[in-house]
Amino acid sequence: MNAERIILGIDPGTNIMGYGLIHQKGSALDLVTLGVIQLNKYDNHALKLKKIFERTLSLIDEYNPDELAIEAPFYGKNVQSMLKLGRAQGVAMAAGLYRSVPIYEYSPKKIKKSITGSGSASKEKVAAMLRSILSLSDITTQLDATDGLAAAVCHYFQKNPGGDTKSYSGWKQFVSQNPERTK
């Protein structure tokens, strides 16, 4: 495990994108910041994607994370929603790749399980466990922000990222590991 690193966690979304940053020093873990990007005020999907890219770049430029952990899209009932979510995730990943920040992708179940011990935990349970893990007296009620933070903390818990984790160090590696996404 790295002696010191900053991890940016992102919960991608096209209406609200959550993010959280943590600072690891040895085994100590501290909250740097967390928040959301409100995108529901924009009607144009392309404009939402542009805002996600710009805000992710600004977070990277401001906090200089060593790694970016992102929640993978999951298939729900609506294919169109999943496609939009995948685009949001892709744009956030592109911002990380643009700044040469290694990307780690985790399934929603993996994130919930690493934080709470249960892959089906509620957003509220995840937030409560983060409050305990980070020894915070108060944490935002914005559950998208705590979901972004959960991605970062999940990554911290992975001593040897693997399993359903995917890591990309650049465009070439992303394309070689995901040929079906380039067609």
Q: Does the annotation count 71 as an active-site position? A: yes
For residue 37, give every residue at least 6 positions away whose Cβ sits within 8 Å of its Cβ, in sequence order, or none.
Answer: 16, 17, 19, 51, 52, 55
Helix intervals (H) in the chain:
45-63, 79-98, 108-116, 123-133, 143-157, 171-177
The neighbour count for residue 168, using CB atoms within 10 Å, is 21
Selecting among 11, 67, 105, 147, the annotated active-site residue is 11
The rounded distance, in Å, linking the Cα atoms of 116 and 132 is 11
Of 120, 145, 119, nearest to 131 by C-alpha is 145
Residue 138 annotated among the catalytic residues of the structure: no
The strands making up 103-106's β-sheet, listed across from edge to edge, are: 28-38, 16-25, 4-11, 67-71, 103-106, 166-168
Distance of CA 49 to the CA centre of its chain: 16
Residue tagged active-site, from 67, 105, 144, 147? 144
The catalytic position among 67, 71, 105, 147 is 71
Active-site residue flag, 144 = yes
Question: How far, in Å, CA of 41 to CA of 6, rounded?
Answer: 30
**Could you list the active site residues?**
11, 71, 144
